Amino acid sequence: MMLVSSRCGCGYPTQIPSDGMPDAIGLMKKYGPGTSYDTKYWEIGNEPNMPPSSTTKEGLAYAKKFAGYYEEMVREVRKAGVTGVQFLLPGLFGFKAGKPGRITPREFLREVKYQLDHAEPKLANPYQGISIHPYVFKVRDPKHPKKGLHAPGTVKGAEAEDAEQLAKEVQRSISNVHGIDPGAPIWVTELGFPVKSSDEAKIPRVSESEQAILVRQSFAMLLRKRKHLNIDHVLYYNIQDVSNGAEWPNHCGLLKASRAQRPAWKAFTESVEAE
């Protein structure tokens, strides 16, 4: 279930320049199919459903704008004679509904799909997969559902229940995406759990043992449901920690910055070896 894809493009409104097309095409010619790198899959954009907009209306307007950029990218790549490239719609962050300005993957895809379906002339087979980042950082105590959300593992004795709840949230994110385009395969291109975080209120850290439980439970669900959810590939974020800074993306590693293995490394390798 593991492959590496290359990203091209970007996520925010001020960063969608058409004059970047020659650079993107040059990258595909240098690293794409038929080269020594032979990179077939290219993810165009990254988390564009979380632009710095303040309303859902603005978020949807940006999705429409992104669809035009994406359509132009695909047309120009094909016109340039770059063959064999497989396109992934951008890695969509799994926001819940109601986050002001940050629309859900389902809302984003609905707008993009509508624009691509009505493109003139029709753009044949515009993408070969949908990329999603179904991070889940907090869960709810099933014994006290009216209480606020908490970090997995912080309710004594509830580690297994937390991990199962988290896996269900991941599945729900993917299922909602397929409500828009059930025929497109899913690439989970980011999924991880930080053991250090500089913003505990928003992205709480977990212990190394809790990280291993979450990795094992999540991958077990993804493997079990892969046909039902039409999952092609899953990439864990991140294999190894980055040593500088306490920001959570630097500390999701299965390995420490020193390359020492965490318990999650064993959980991950045993999960994929069981496949």
Q: Name, in order, each residue with C-beta under 8 angstroms of 239's C-beta and a sequence gap of 6 or more.
A: 253, 254, 255
Short-list 210, 187, 194, 197, CA closest to 127: 187
CA–CA separation, 254 vs 269, rounded Å?
10
Strand, coil or helix: 92: strand
Judging by beta carbons within 10 Å of its beta carbon (0-12, 13-18, 19+), is residue 156 exposed, middle or buried?
Answer: exposed
Mapped onto helix, strand or coil, the DSSP state of residue 134 is coil
Question: Residue 274: what pLDDT?
Answer: 65
How many whole angstroms separate alpha carbon 69 and alpha carbon 87?
Answer: 13
CATH number assigned to the domain covering 6-273: 3.20.20.80
At 98 the pLDDT is 60
CB atoms within 10 A of CB 236: 21
Which residue is it, tokens 């290219």?
42
Q: Return the pLDDT at 153.
A: 79
Structure-block tokens of residue 89 = 């719609």
The whole-angstrom separation of Cα 25 and Cα 42 is: 11
Which DSSP letter does residue 41 get? Answer: E
- In this prediction, residue 13 carries a pLDDT of 34
Cα separation, 240 vs 228, in Å, equals: 30
- Short-list 217, 226, 213, CA closest to 263: 213
DSSP annotation of 246 reads -
Per-residue pLDDT of the chain (275 residues; tens, 9 = 90+): 233 444 444 333 334 445 567 788 888 999 999 999 999 999 988 888 887 767 888 888 989 999 999 999 999 999 999 999 999 999 999 887 666 667 889 999 999 999 999 999 999 999 999 999 999 988 877 777 777 788 887 777 777 888 888 898 899 889 989 888 888 999 999 999 999 999 888 899 999 999 999 999 999 999 999 999 999 999 999 999 998 888 999 999 999 999 999 999 999 999 888 66
* Nearest residue to 206 (alpha-carbon basis) of 155, 245, 243: 155
Phi then psi for residue 181, to 5 deg, are -140, 80
Question: What does each C-alpha distance from 119 to 58, 87, 113, 178, 182 come to in angstroms?
Answer: 21, 17, 10, 22, 20
0.85 surpassed by pTM: yes
DSSP per-residue string spanning 36-104: SS---EEEE-B-TTS-S-SSHHHHHHHHHHHHHHHHHHHHHHHHTT--S-EEEEEEEE-PPTT-TT---
